[in-house]
Structure formats: structure tokens, C-alpha cells
């Protein structure tokens, strides 16, 4: 039986380049995190983009691990929980 999952909103700021979304999605898949929703938005600077995710997270520990690993990606500038 699967543990309950919680919907958590995070914002990931990245460099605007080919393959970034794939890198982020692959990391989330490796961490066994389901993406409930995703929205990307442009910034005033065309070199950067912002991704808003709603993720299904088991617990605070998993959320911390995921955010830490996202920050280790070279394309990611910032990753944090919204709110």
C-alpha cells in the first residue's frame, strides 16, 4: 500500500536553454516524484525562465531532498517551495 502523497507547489528558476525541462523532469522521475502540474513562464530577461510545479510529495524529507538535488543541476539557479 502506498503512503499518502501531498501536493506541494515549488518554483524552479533556470537558464533558458534547450533540454532544461528534460533535466528537471528526469531528476523528479529518479526521485519517484509525480508531477501533478507544470507551468513555464518567461521572465523580463530572455536568458532565464521560471517553472512552477505542483508535485506529489511523500513528506518534508523528500521535499528537502528534491529541492537540494534540483539546486545541484547546472541549469538551475534557484528551487524553492512556494508560499
pLDDT of residue 83: 80
CA nearest 66: which of 17, 10, 4? Answer: 10
Cβ neighbours for 45, distance < 8 A, ≥ 6 positions apart: none
pLDDT for position 62: 96
> What grid cell was written down for 37?
502540474
Give the three-class secondary structure for 33: coil
Report the pLDDT value the prediction gives residue 43, as an integer from 0 to 100: 92
For residue 1, the model assigns a pLDDT of 47
Residue with the bigger pLDDT between 54 and 5: it is 54
Can you tell me the mean pLDDT for 69-82?
A: 97
For the stretch 27-41, pLDDT in tens is 999 999 999 999 999
pLDDT tens, residue by residue, 43-61: 999 999 999 999 999 999 9
Amino acid at each position: 500500500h502506498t503512503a499518502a502523497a501531498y501536493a506541494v507547489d515549488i518554483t524552479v528558476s533556470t537558464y533558458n536553454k534547450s533540454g532544461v525541462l528534460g533535466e528537471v523532469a528526469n531528476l523528479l522521475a529518479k526521485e519517484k516524484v509525480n508531477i501533478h502540474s507544470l507551468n513555464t513562464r518567461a521572465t523580463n530577461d530572455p536568458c532565464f525562465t521560471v517553472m512552477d510545479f505542483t508535485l506529489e510529495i511523500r513528506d518534508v524529507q523528500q521535499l528537502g531532498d528534491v529541492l537540494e538535488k534540483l539546486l545541484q543541476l547546472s541549469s538551475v539557479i534557484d528551487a524553492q517551495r512556494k508560499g
